[in-house]
Structure 1
Amino acid sequence: MRTLVLNTAWANGNDDVIDTATQLFQNWMRFNQTVDADLKSVVYPVGIAYGGEEEWEFVWDQYLSSSDPYEKRLFLSALGKSRIPWLLSRYLEYSIDPSKVRTQDTTTVIAYVSGNVYGRYLTWNFVRNNWSLFLERYGGGSFSFSRLIKYVTGSFTTELELKEVERFFSEQGDQGSGARAVRQALEVIQRNILWLETNQNLIQNCLSDTQSCFSSSLP
């Protein structure tokens, strides 16, 4: 529960949590001080999100040298939290290099970067530019293929984004068994658009007047 609370706090800009986690990260990086096991999922991403290239490279080296699957997954997740676009772009390039990231972890890295507001459109452009590689690697009907499409389009909420996704996939021709994944992705975007249109005013009211959130509820 503590980990959940702390992750929610730093994601929402709580200065106390960010400052403490950043200090713990620096102690780990510079003085080799161990981070408590239940705090790693907070300290690692905060260190990356509020650090620079040095912090990113440090965690990347930890990922390469670690043999612990759990630790490696924490490192992969944290690396996707950077707010520096060129680092995220390089990370995406690493994701399709089997000498750096295992092939089975490629879509995992893409999911982490696309879940970052600073990496959302970087990921979409990256996947489009490397579409033939992904299609060849995973095949249109595979689970990984479906997840890939879901990760890069699932947060889209505008008509412009919907049309962009529709246009891209229409240009790819027959998707074969992957057509279902494409259709589902388009349906998700349409639902996102509808939800936002229905609730946008209520959300704005909540942001400007906290009391209104207690007298209203979002569907």
Structure 2
Amino acid sequence: MRTSVLNTAWANGNDDVIDTATQLFQNWMRFNQTVDADLKSVVYPVGIAYGGEEEWEFVWDQYLSSSDPYEKRLFLSALGMSRIPWLLSRYLEYSIDPSKVRTQDTTTVIAYVSGNVYGRYLSWNFVRNNWSLFLERYGGGSFSFSRLIKYVTGSFTTELELKEVERFFSEQGDQGSGARAVRQALEVIQRNILWLETNQNLIQNCLSDTQSCFSSSLS
């Protein structure tokens, strides 16, 4: 629970957690001080999110040199937390280079960048620009293909985004066995739009009046 609480705290801008995690990251990077195992999933992403190119390059080097699958996964996740668009764009490019990122981890990298508000549209545009590569690599009916579509469109919440996704896939012609994944992605966006329309006023009230949030519930 400790890790979950700390991750929630920094994601919501808790200064104490962010400052402490940033200091632990700097101690690790500059003085080789070990980060406690149960804090790595907090310290690594905070260091990247509130750092710059130097911090990003440091973690990238750690990823390349590590032989521990768990550590490598933590590094991949943390690298996607950057708030610097050009670093995220470069990371997406790395994801399709087998000499840098394993082919089976490509969709994982894209998922991490997509989950970052600073990378949401970068990842969507990246996938569109490299659509033929992904189609050839994973095939329309594969699990990886389905996950890829889910990752880059799952956070969309507007009619404009829905129409953009619909237009893109209609331009690709017959999706074959991938049509189901596309259909599911569109359904998720439609549900997101409906949920936001239903709960937007309540969310705004929660943000402006804590008491009203406790006395109400989201649908």
TM-score category (smaller protein): over 0.9
State the SS of the aligned residue for 1:77: helix
| CA displacement, residues 28-65 of structure 1 (integer Å, 9 cap, x when unaligned) | 00000000000000000000000000000000000000
CA offsets 1:41-92 (integer angstroms, 9 cap, x no match):
0000000000000000000000000000000000000000000000000000
Distance 2:44 2:215 in 1: 38
User: What are the superposed Cα offsets for residues 135-165 of structure 1, whole Å, 9 maximum, x if unpaired?
Assistant: 0000000000000000000000000000000
Distance in structure 2 (CA, Å) of the matches to 1:207 and 1:14: 16
> Normalized against structure 1, the TM-score is what?
1.00
Give deviations 1:107-156, integer Å, cap 9, x for gaps: 00000000000000000000000000000000000000000000000000
1:12 maps to 2:12:
yes
Q: Deviations over 1:176-206 (max 9, x none)?
A: 0000000000000000000000110000011
Q: Which runs of 4+ in 1 moved over 6 A?
A: none
| SS of equivalent residue, structure 2 residue 3 | helix
TM (norm. structure 2) is 1.00
Hey, what's the Cα distance between the residues in 2 that align with 1:204 and 1:8? 20
Q: By how many angstroms is 1:100 displaced? A: 0.1
Q: Distance in 1 between matches of 2:137 and 2:203?
A: 41
Shift of 1:210: 0.6
Following the alignment from structure 2 to structure 1, what is the Cα–Cα distance between the partners of residues 135 and 176? 11
CA distance in 2, matches of 1:24, 1:214: 35
Q: Aligned-pair distance for 1:19?
A: 0.2
Structure 2 counterpart of 1:150:
150
Deviation at 1:215, TM superposition (A): 1.0
**Shift in Å, 1:214:** 1.1
Gaps of 5+ in 1: none
Cα distance in 2 for residues equivalent to 1:40 and 1:163: 40
The RMSD of aligned alpha carbons is 0.3
Q: Does 1:176 align with 2:176?
A: yes
Report the count of equivalent residues.
Answer: 219
Distance 1:180 1:42 in 2: 36
- Identical pairs, percent: 98
> In structure 2, the residue corresponding to 1:34 is in which secondary structure?
coil
Separation (CA, whole Å) in 2 of partners of 1:187 and 1:59: 37
What are structure 2's unaligned runs of at least 5 residues?
A: none
